[in-house]
Chain A
Amino acid sequence: MKEILQALVEIVGTEFVSDQPEERYLYSMDPGTMPAREPDFVVMPDSTEQVRQVLLLANQHKIPVVPLGAGLVLSGLSRALKGGIILDMKRMNRIIEVNEMSRYALVEAGASQGMLQAYLKKHHPRLKHSAPDAPPAATIAGNVCIHGSGHISHAHGFHSDMLNGLEVVLPTGEVTRLGSCATSDYWFSRAPLPDLAGLFLGWAGTTGVITKLAIKLYPNYRFNDVGVFVCEDARLMPDILYRMSETQMAEDLTAWMTPKPDWARGFLHSNINYGANTKEELIWKRNLIRASVSEYIDRKIAGFIPMPAAMKQPFLEVPARQLSRFADVRKGGGFEYVGVIMPVDLFAEAYELGLEIASRLSVSYSLGARIIGINHCMMFFYAYAFNRADPADVQRAQRALEATNRAAVDMGGIPWKAEAPAQKEIIRKMDPNMFALMNRIRAVLDPAGIMNPGNWEID
């Protein structure tokens, strides 16, 4: 162990490696319910070359390596399940290039959502990226590689769909570029080359370490507005969302259902966010959206909540703070949610499931969904807040999460950024040949099995 520590110090410098109990404790957990797992070392590289050297060392000594962004995934994916090194990427946070004309940004893997947002606001006010509602410290790489979604996902899909290219360090130490950047100085797209980026998307850091990535940027509209449409019948939701999405006017379409405040209990809200460069265009878009659901409005069974500008503000915020506020409702710093990727058709069943589990297991809940693409699918979330200082509360939330994961898989959905136990639920239903292929790929890329072991495994 001493030699490994020394070797790591030689790679990143004394200040950026630790095997001390304080750091090992802090890096042993995330805000979710998964039990703490202490790493042996925490390492903070500053360059692709340092990452490469760390991986060569780990590969040589068969030491597990767990890449870490902000550790906000909540499902314990960046815990060191088998000990080893937590590779904290936060120092590699440079924004390398913004190509205004081709609308992309090239960043290092540790660059955070907040940093890019602030940078664009200052230097490229006509552009924005699709930010998730995660706290601004969340990294762009950590979010893209889990197939995250955010404020432009209704218009443009998962954040992984917005990825133009990657620089990755393979577990065996090779530095590889994927996408147009493999052949050109420009990071403009993943087409037309064979698309190998998928080897690092959805794998929970088990195939390599992303060191740079380019993502697409989008017009930052001068004027933005939101409509909050409310109804009482979950069975109407797929059609409401279908109609709204048919207009293709929105950047973001989300649903929320929460028992607090009292006036919201039992109602289903759809927030539709859209933008424009002139007020006239904004009103035109609003009218198209409104017309799409006029049948429900005319029957008086649903409608847009009238909101003065100040009331709209929280719904126009990026990231939206409401979920973070709910996350703290039980105090004690515990929060986790099951996000299930599923067809919009299943909305009513998904909603009933959440209500049933929350009532059966007595947990504080908030339910919602982000529509990904124009109704192509949704990320339906079941958020359970808990007080981390109260073991009984943690256990209640854990049971709710497990029950939700299991039922969601049975319903035809797939838990997103699934915890290790939920990954097993997914594997249980997965085409065995797909799982076999995953294992063959991992064996090729990571012959020593060092990358985030304990994930995407049966046992």
Chain B
Amino acid sequence: MYELNYDPQICAKCKTCDCLMKCQYIDFELAEARVEKEKLLNGQDTRILQECTTCYSCEEYCPAGNHPFYQIVERQEEKGFLPVPEPITKQQLTMMEPRGTITPASVSAPVINMCYFPMLTDSIRGKLYENTSMIVGSDIFCNIMWLHFGKNSAIRERLPRMIDNIQQFYLKDSGVEEVVCYHDECYGAYTQLAPAFGIEVPFKVVHLFEYLSNKLDELSDQITPINAKVAYQRPCSNRLIPQTQHWVDDIFQKIGADRVPREYDRDNALCCGQVLRAQQRDDLADDVQKRNLDDMQQAGVAYCVFNCPVCMFTLADAVAERGIFPILMSDLCQAAVEKKAE
């Protein structure tokens, strides 16, 4: 059931091992990378299983789209290499469990899917979100986070139910065929992960940034340019959907935000650190956060812009301590159209 669409032959023949060679967190010589990859293919123990930070990036690096990351997670689970201590994994599984409290509701397009971030529903307001419907809750949670826990089984078990819930409880009877995903995780889950596992998605999805970009066009005469330098914290889940990256630039351009070049942006973006802490790797988390924040500070940015709420919760205080204003992309756009950008 829900076999991973992974071809070992592709990896076996691969000469470049981009998935490992480009890894920002584990250092490999090419020869060693090949050996370790071989071990992975053969189901043997390898340092990859232990040292993987689960940053998702090798999904982006693999030129063949062969899902090397999902394969690593698959093996972690098979061989019992838990990236995160077991009690924490179990607690998270219970905490994020579908509560089964969803009830049918009529929605009308555009439907904003807030995943399981009820604390952010206040963001869906103002001109940008006029006449939208919103869905949120544990019963529509995309469940992609289990990739960080070596738990593809939880994704296989929960994601199809969530997809079905969205379709059955909201979209079907309302005659709506499309949802706007607030979070990269959902967009990645429905457009990239689900197909990789052969999970069917009966509705279309739009990335929040595409929605915002179009909205900004509609409201272009009402935009007050932000006129500030900004840094963007690219989240791990965007590694599944690099094709959406250009929307970030489009939006910044439309609201007059200057995404200044810096070292840890775009393909070289760094993890926010939260997953590293779950993996009990505080030293690495400290180092990664420091490099990232030093970089933002040196770039002289006024805002650090997030799309992932977890990145925002994790880094907001540290960012603010550096005199940089932490803000979600959606809120920054609100500020531009509501003329409250200061």
B100 near A: Cβ within 8 Å? Answer: no
> Known interface pairs A267-B87, A267-B91, A303-B88. Does A310 touch B277 (Cβ–Cβ under 8 Å)?
no
Q: Which of B32-40, B78-86, B256-264, B331-339 contacts A (4 or more CB under 8 A)?
A: B78-86
CB-nearest residue of chain A relative to B82?
A300
A20 near B: Cβ within 8 Å? Answer: no
Q: In the assembled complex, how far is the CB of residue A227 from the closest CB belonging to chain B, in whole angstroms? A: 10
Q: Which of A231, A283, A287 contacts B87 (CB 8 A)?
A: A231
A411 near B: Cβ within 8 Å? Answer: no
B313 near A: Cβ within 8 Å? Answer: yes
**How big is the B interface, by class?**
20 to 34
Contacts of A308 in B (CB 8 A): 274, 310, 313-314, 316
Q: Is the CB of A263 within 8 A of B82?
A: no
Q: Is the CB of B286 within 8 A of A303?
A: no
Q: In the assembled complex, how far is the CB of residue B128 from the closest CB belonging to chain A, in whole angstroms? A: 25
**Known A302-B85, A303-B85; further 17 A-B contacts with Cβ < 8 A:** A230-B88, A230-B91, A263-B92, A263-B95, A264-B91, A267-B87, A267-B90, A286-B282, A287-B282, A297-B280, A301-B85, A301-B86, A302-B87, A304-B280, A309-B313, A309-B316, A311-B313
Most chain B CB within 10 A, of A304, A308, A311, is at: A308
Q: Is the CB of B86 within 8 A of A300?
A: yes
Q: In the assembled complex, how far is the CB of residue B99 from the closest CB belonging to chain A, in whole angstroms? A: 10
B278 near A: Cβ within 8 Å? Answer: yes
Q: Is the CB of A303 within 8 A of B91?
A: no
CB-nearest residue of chain B relative to A265?
B94
B249 near A: Cβ within 8 Å? Answer: no
B173 near A: Cβ within 8 Å? Answer: no
A262 near B: Cβ within 8 Å? Answer: yes
Q: Is the CB of A263 within 8 A of B87?
A: no
Q: In the assembled complex, how far is the CB of residue B244 from the closest CB belonging to chain A, in whole angstroms? A: 25
List B250-298 residues whose CB lies under 8 Å from chain A: 274-275, 277-278, 280, 282-283, 286
Q: Which of A263, A283, A297 contacts B85 (CB 8 A)?
A: A297
CB-nearest residue of chain B relative to A261?
B95
Q: Is the CB of A303 within 8 A of B87?
A: yes
A232 near B: Cβ within 8 Å? Answer: yes
Q: Pull 29 A–B residue pairs with CB atoms less than 8 Å apart, ordered by A.
A: A230-B87, A230-B88, A230-B91, A232-B87, A261-B95, A262-B97, A263-B91, A263-B95, A264-B91, A265-B94, A286-B282, A287-B282, A287-B283, A290-B282, A297-B280, A300-B82, A301-B87, A302-B85, A302-B87, A303-B84, A303-B85, A303-B88, A303-B280, A304-B277, A305-B88, A308-B274, A308-B313, A308-B314, A309-B313
Q: In the assembled complex, how far is the CB of residue A363 from the closest CB belonging to chain B, in whole angstroms? A: 23
Give Cα A286 to B280, complex, Å. Answer: 12
Please count how many residues in chain A sit with their CB below 8 Å of the partner chain's CB atoms: 25
Per-position contact with A for B80-118: 1 when CB-CB < 8 Å, else 0? 001011111011101101000000000000000000000
Q: Is the CB of B85 within 8 A of A262?
A: no
Q: In the assembled complex, how far is the CB of residue A226 from the closest CB belonging to chain B, in whole angstroms? A: 13
Contacts of B286 in A (CB 8 A): 283
A306 near B: Cβ within 8 Å? Answer: yes
List A264-319 residues whose CB lies under 8 Å from chain B: 264-265, 267, 283, 286-287, 290, 297, 300-306, 308-311
Q: In the assembled complex, how far is the CB of residue A264 from the closest CB belonging to chain B, in whole angstroms? A: 7
Contacts of B316 in A (CB 8 A): 308-309
Give Cα A304 to B84, complex, Å. Answer: 10
Give Cα A305 to B116, complex, Å. Answer: 19
Contacts of A264 in B (CB 8 A): 91
Give Cα A378 to B310, complex, Å. Answer: 36
B45 near A: Cβ within 8 Å? Answer: no
Q: In the assembled complex, how far is the CB of residue B103 from the closest CB belonging to chain A, in whole angstroms? A: 21
Q: In the assembled complex, how far is the CB of residue B35 from the closest CB belonging to chain A, in whole angstroms? A: 25
Most chain A CB within 10 A, of B91, B94, B277, B314, is at: B91
Contacts of B95 in A (CB 8 A): 261-263
CB-nearest residue of chain A relative to B86?
A300
Q: Is the CB of B278 within 8 A of A306?
A: yes
Q: Is the CB of B85 within 8 A of A300?
A: yes
CB-nearest residue of chain B relative to A262?
B94
Give Cα A263 to B93, complex, Å. Answer: 8
Give Cα A232 to B90, complex, Å. Answer: 10
Q: Which of A265, A302, A303, A309 contacts B317 (CB 8 A)?
A: A309
Q: In the assembled complex, how far is the CB of residue B326 from the closest CB belonging to chain A, in whole angstroms? A: 11
Give Cα A357 to B36, complex, Å. Answer: 53
Give Cα A300 to B80, complex, Å. Answer: 10
Give Cα A262 to B96, complex, Å. Answer: 11
Give Cα A310 to B313, complex, Å. Answer: 7
Contacts of B282 in A (CB 8 A): 286-287, 290
Give Cα A301 to B286, complex, Å. Answer: 23
Contacts of A304 in B (CB 8 A): 277, 280
In the A-B complex, the 3 residue pairs with the closest CB atoms: A303-B85, A306-B277, A308-B313
List A218-270 residues whose CB lies under 8 Å from chain B: 230-232, 261-265, 267
Contacts of A302 in B (CB 8 A): 85, 87
Contacts of A286 in B (CB 8 A): 282
List B204-220 residues whose CB lies under 8 Å from chain A: none
Contacts of A297 in B (CB 8 A): 85, 280
Give Cα A297 to B87, complex, Å. Answer: 10
CB-nearest residue of chain B relative to A305?
B88
CB-nearest residue of chain B relative to A303?
B85
CB-nearest residue of chain A relative to B309?
A308
> Known interface pairs A303-B280, A306-B277, A308-B314. Does A263 touch B84 (Cβ–Cβ under 8 Å)?
no
Give Cα A261 to B274, complex, Å. Answer: 22
Contacts of A263 in B (CB 8 A): 91-92, 94-95
Contacts of A232 in B (CB 8 A): 86-87, 90
Give Cα A265 to B85, complex, Å. Answer: 17
Q: In the assembled complex, how far is the CB of residue A290 from the closest CB belonging to chain B, in whole angstroms? A: 6
Per-position contact with A for B301-324: 1 when CB-CB < 8 Å, else 0? 000000000100110110000000
CB-nearest residue of chain A relative to B310?
A308
Contacts of B94 in A (CB 8 A): 262-263, 265
Give Cα A287 to B280, complex, Å. Answer: 11
Most chain A CB within 10 A, of B97, B282, B286, is at: B282
CB-nearest residue of chain A relative to B99?
A262
Contacts of B280 in A (CB 8 A): 290, 297, 303-304
Give Cα A151 to B115, complex, Å. Answer: 38
Q: Is the CB of A305 within 8 A of B91?
A: yes
Q: In the assembled complex, how far is the CB of residue A291 from the closest CB belonging to chain B, in whole angstroms? A: 11
Contacts of B275 in A (CB 8 A): 306
Give Cα A326 to B310, complex, Å. Answer: 28
Give Cα A425 to B286, complex, Å. Answer: 52
Contacts of A265 in B (CB 8 A): 94
Q: In the assembled complex, how far is the CB of residue A190 from the closest CB belonging to chain B, in whole angstroms? A: 41
Most chain B CB within 10 A, of A263, A264, A303, is at: A303
CB-nearest residue of chain B relative to A299?
B85
Give Cα A302 to B84, complex, Å. Answer: 9
CB-nearest residue of chain A relative to B94?
A263
List B53-87 residues whose CB lies under 8 Å from chain A: 82, 84-87
CB-nearest residue of chain B relative to A301?
B86
Q: In the assembled complex, how far is the CB of residue B331 from the closest CB belonging to chain A, in whole angstroms? A: 17
Give Cα A166 to B261, complex, Å. Answer: 66
Most chain A CB within 10 A, of B87, B88, B92, B316, is at: B87
Contacts of B283 in A (CB 8 A): 287
